[in-house]
């Protein structure tokens, strides 16, 4: 059973990264010369239950993703026709191109370098804000050592 579930997960990831699965069959009308049969698209009337499941994976994955998106993001991807197109659009929206990534890193580094505890801010609030900046940097593959982080946070505390 576990291997069957893993196969479904592999199929799902395949359609996200490579596009919908085409249901194929060996073409017996063409002679096999190199050991591998020539493949053609399988007519729908010949589809097995497994073929139908694989063919529908794009719709299943799209439905799952639609249910997780907020209204603003949904409006940005609703014109995409396949889960692969949706995935690529989401990557573009969330990560951006290389220049956008560099800009995000620059902004996050600037925030990290200039972090100061605000007047009236509790230690918990300051810690949460600092961790948010550090986690953002980590997500952008800009990692600081624990020593650098500790020094930066201590310097950001008020003198009193």
- pLDDT tens string for the chain (160 positions)? 344 444 456 788 888 888 888 898 888 776 666 666 778 889 999 999 999 998 898 999 999 989 999 999 999 999 999 999 999 999 888 777 777 778 888 998 999 999 999 989 999 999 999 999 999 888 888 888 999 999 988 888 888 7
Query: CA 84: distance to chain centroid?
Result: 11
Determine the straight-line distance between the first and last CA of the chain, rounded to whole angstroms: 62
Query: pTM score, two decimals?
Result: 0.54
Of 106, 73, 97, 80, the C-alpha closest to 16 is 80
């Amino acid at each position: 059973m576990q291997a069957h579930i893993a196969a479904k997960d592999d199929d799902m990831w395949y359609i996200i990264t490579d596009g919908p699965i085409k249901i194929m069959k060996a073409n017996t009308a063409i002679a096999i010369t190199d050991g591998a049969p020539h493949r053609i698209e399988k007519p729908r009337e010949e589809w097995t239950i497994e073929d139908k499941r694989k063919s529908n994976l794009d719709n299943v994955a799209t439905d799952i993703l639609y249910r997780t998106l907020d209204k603003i993001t949904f409006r940005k991807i609703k014109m995409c026709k396949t889960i692969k197109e949706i995935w690529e659009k989401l990557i573009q929206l969330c990560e951006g191109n290389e220049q956008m990534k560099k800009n995000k890193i620059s902004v996050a580094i600037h925030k990290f370098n200039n972090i100061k505890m605000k007047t009236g801010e509790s230690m918990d609030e300051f810690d949460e804000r600092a961790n948010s900046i550090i986690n953002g940097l980590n997500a952008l593959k800009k990692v600081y050592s624990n020593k650098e982080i500790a020094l930066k946070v201590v310097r950001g505390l008020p003198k009193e």
